[in-house]
């Protein structure tokens, strides 16, 4: 047989997922001096993963990164298979028949648990659900969030928590020209929420958010940020942390928080409170109707050395009445049938991207992005991460077990036999154009389709017209 990676026998790589780590993997593969065919599989009919369904609608500039991904998708040896769920519609075993290597880059779609009483009450949601809902993710379009009460609580102080807080605190005027899903804008226009509490278990020097994101709270039209100056007192270890040059963003956060103290008397109708060194102890339904109405919060103290301080409860508790709560304590990956998975940490076990643990090595299987390393870092973090994985794949080229049926014609025939209505990149461009057209009519960059069947029907009818 001809060598893999040549005109006679191109290296055939399947990439599972279509978010940043998937596209950076494709980009890195195309940079190699080999002939490579890439097939990208995505369970939804539309590409770009968390860029479309995670990045906040009012952070439009961040989404421009898709222009780079579009370029990769235009490569002649790139094919997109949307609406195909690997592990469900098509097994890993089936996938391997048509490819020499597979990169799993499908991100982390679930969430971590708090593990406290009342977490499952009505009105207690994960931030991930809310984010997917306001971003028009088809699987979350029917979720309902009761915004009729006045107080919302958000647990966690990462950038997702700040995204959720900002969406709750912004006015409709501030959101209406974004690509927020129409159902979310409608619900938010009726929101009664006036107070949003963002609760961090550690101190202001350890908060996980980044400076650009916290600064925005000083610039909202109708919401004052509330920072208690007493909570900005730092212990010696935290002061040391902020003096460390590698913690420059944390120092910037701290300066911004000090600046926000001045804005607490802005007198705007909505308030966003930032609490530090506090943890949720229990979520309660005092009335007994199965709906959250208060949360017990415990005061924390920090312990440990500078750089690795942890929090522990002091026993001092306070009650906060609230009608809705969002747990924003991190995303979590989920496994795929037939693939190694470390359920303890929610990642595919790997060695620099090669799937395997101490006992198994899965030849020809690789992983990149959040499902490889856990849900950390910004979009750009996925580029070097994907490059590392691709480097390992290319090092292995001589030991890969070639796919038995190295042909897209055979792959497509198989998908058709299984009645899988897959979506090509050209099909996605039809949806893209229609969304932009619908958006123009209402002054938004796009009005997203939110229903999978509606997308498939639209593609069919648009193609019939050509």
Determine if 45 is a binding residue for ligand NAP (CB under 6 A).
Answer: no
Using alpha carbons, select from 280, 347, 236, 230 the residue that is nearest to residue 121: 280
User: What percent of the residues of the chain are helix, what percent strand, and what percent coil, each to the nearest 5?
Assistant: 35, 20, 40
Closest among 265, 167, 269 to 222, alpha carbons compared: 269
CB of 430 to ligand NAP, least distance (A): 29
Residues 348, 350, 356, CA angle at the centre, nearest 5°? 95
Tell me whether residue 82 or residue 200 sits nearer to ligand NAP (CB atom).
200
Among 136, 375, 403, 406, indicate the residue that binds ligand NAP (CB under 6 A).
Answer: 375
User: Which CB sits closer to ligand NAP, 93 or 344?
Assistant: 344
Minimum distance between the CB of residue 97 and ligand NAP, rounded to whole angstroms? 35
Please state at what angle helix 236-243 crosses helix 248-261, rounded to 10 degrees.
120
When binding is defined by CB under 6 A, the residue of 10, 82, 156, 346 that contacts ligand NAP is: 156
Stretch of 77-85, 186-194, 370-378, 439-447 contacting ligand NAP, by CB under 6 A: 370-378
One of 160, 196, 257, 455 touching ligand NAP (CB under 6 A): 160
Q: Which range, of 1-9, 74-82, 206-214, 394-402, touches ligand NAP by CB under 6 A?
A: 206-214
Identify which of residues 138 and 158 has a Cβ nearer to ligand NAP in the complex: 158
Stretch that binds ligand NAP, among 35-43, 83-91, 318-326, 376-384 (CB under 6 A): 376-384
Residue 156, by phi and psi: left (phi above 0), alpha (psi -120 to 50) or beta?
left
Distance in angstroms (rounded) separating the CA atoms of residues 164 and 141: 17
Single residue of 13, 114, 371, 386 touching ligand NAP by CB under 6 A: 114
β-sheet bridge partners, residue 80: 40
Q: Which stretch binds ligand NAP (CB under 6 A): 26-34, 143-151, 152-160, 408-416?
A: 152-160
User: How far is residue 166 from each of residues 76, 101, 264, 295, measured CA to CA in Å?
Assistant: 41, 42, 16, 21
Which of 14, 155, 196, 368 contacts ligand NAP by CB under 6 A? 155
13 touches 400 (CB < 8 A): no
Q: Find the shortest distance in angstroms from Cβ 420 to ligand NAP.
A: 31
Nearest distance, CB of residue 278 and ligand NAP, angstroms = 9
CA 324 to chain centre: 22
Q: Which of 377, 402, 439, 445 binds ligand NAP (CB under 6 A)?
A: 377
CB 51 within 8 A of CB 63: yes
Rounded to the nearest whole angstrom, what is the least distance from the CB of residue 368 to ligand NAP in the complex?
16
In the bound state, the residue with its beta carbon closest to ligand NAP is 158
Q: Based on CB atoms, which residue is closest to ligand NAP, 39 or 253?
A: 253
Min CB(267)–ligand NAP separation in Å:
28
Report the distance separating Cα 347 and Cα 112, nearest Å: 12
Q: Give DSSP secondary structure letters for 314-371.
A: EEEEEEEE-SEEEE-S-EE----TTS--BTTTTB--EETTEEE-SS-EEEEEEE-THH
- From residue 465, alpha-carbon distances to 82, 429, 459 in Å are 21, 15, 10
SS3 264: helix
d(CA 37, CA 101): 11
Residue closer to ligand NAP, measured from CB, 156 or 349: 156
Question: Is 346 a residue that touches ligand NAP (CB under 6 A)?
Answer: no
Interaction between residue 132 and ligand NAP (CB under 6 A): no
Residue 195 or 328 having the CB closest to ligand NAP: 328
Q: Does 135 bind ligand NAP (CB under 6 A)?
A: no
Is position 238 an interface residue for ligand NAP (rule: CB under 6 A)? no
Of 361, 378, 401, 442, the residue at the interface with ligand NAP (CB under 6 A) is: 378
Q: By CB under 6 A, name the one of 5, 107, 123, 158 that touches ligand NAP.
A: 158
- DSSP 8-state secondary structure symbol assigned to residue 274: E
Q: Which of 319, 352, 376, 407 binds ligand NAP (CB under 6 A)?
A: 376
Q: Among residues 79, 157, 238, 362, which is the contact residue for ligand NAP, using CB under 6 A?
A: 157
CB-based contacts of 222: which residues, under 8 Å, 6+ apart? 169, 171, 268, 269, 270
What is d(CA 99, CA 363) in angstroms, rounded to the nearest whole number? 12
202 binds ligand NAP (CB under 6 A): yes
Q: Are strands 110-111 and 350-351 parallel, antiparallel or unpaired?
A: unpaired
- What stretches of 197-275 show up as alpha helix (H) in DSSP? 211-215, 236-243, 248-261
The residues binding ligand NAP (CB under 6 A) are: 59, 114, 155-161, 163, 200-202, 206, 208, 213, 279, 328-331, 375-378
């Amino acid at each position: 047989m001809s060598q893999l990676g040549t005109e006679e026998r191109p290296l055939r790589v399947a990439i599972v997922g279509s978010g940043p780590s998937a596209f950076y993997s494709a980009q890195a593969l195309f940079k190699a001096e080999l002939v490579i065919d890439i097939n990208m599989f995505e369970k939804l009919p539309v590409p770009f993963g968390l860029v479309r369904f995670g990045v906040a609608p009012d952070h439009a500039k961040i989404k421009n990164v898709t222009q780079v991904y579009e370029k990769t998708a235009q490569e002649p040896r790139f094919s997109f298979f949307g609406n195909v769920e690997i592990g469900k519609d098509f097994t890993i075993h089936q996938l391997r028949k048509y490819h020499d290597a597979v990169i799993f880059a499908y991100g982390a779609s679930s969430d971590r648990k708090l593990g406290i009483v009342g977490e499952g009450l009505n009105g207690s949601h994960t931030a991930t659900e809310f984010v997917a809902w306001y971003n028009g993710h088809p699987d979350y379009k029917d979720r309902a969030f009761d915004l009729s009460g006045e107080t919302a609580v958000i647990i966690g102080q990462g950038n997702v928590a700040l995204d959720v807080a900002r969406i709750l605190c912004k006015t409709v005027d501030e959101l209406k020209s974004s690509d927020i899903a129409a159902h979310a804008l409608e619900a938010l226009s009726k929101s009664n929420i006036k107070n949003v509490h963002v609760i961090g278990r550690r101190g202001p020097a350890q908060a996980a958010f980044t400076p650009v994101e916290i600064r925005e709270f000083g610039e909202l039209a109708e919401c004052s940020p509330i920072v208690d100056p007493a909570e900005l007192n730092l212990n010696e270890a935290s002061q040391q942390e902020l003096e460390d040059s590698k913690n420059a963003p944390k120092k910037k956060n701290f300066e911004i928080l000090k600046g926000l103290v001045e804005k607490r008397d802005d007198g705007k109708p909505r308030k966003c409170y930032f609490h530090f060194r506090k943890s949720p102890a229990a979520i309660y339904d005092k009335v007994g109707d199965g709906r959250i109405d208060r949360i017990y919060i415990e005061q924390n103290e920090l312990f440990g050395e500078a750089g690795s301080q942890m929090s522990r409860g002091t026993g001092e508790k306070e009650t906060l009445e609230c009608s809705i709560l969002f747990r924003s304590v991190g995303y979590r990956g989920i496994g795929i049938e037939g693939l190694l998975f470390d359920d303890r940490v929610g990642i595919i076990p790997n060695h620099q991207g090669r799937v395997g643990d101490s006992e198994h090595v899965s030849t020809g299987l690789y992983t990149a992005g959040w499902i490889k390393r856990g849900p950390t870092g910004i979009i750009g973090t996925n580029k070097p991460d994907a490059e590392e994985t691709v480097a390992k794949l290319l090092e292995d080229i001589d030991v890969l077990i070639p796919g038995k049926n190295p042909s897209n014609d055979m792959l497509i025939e198989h998908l058709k036999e299984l009645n899988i209505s897959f979506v090509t990149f050209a099909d996605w461009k039809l949806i893209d154009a229609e969304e932009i057209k619908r958006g123009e009519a209402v002054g938004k960059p796009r009005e997203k389709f939110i229903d999978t069947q509606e997308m498939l029907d639209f593609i069919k009818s648009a193609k019939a017209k050509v």
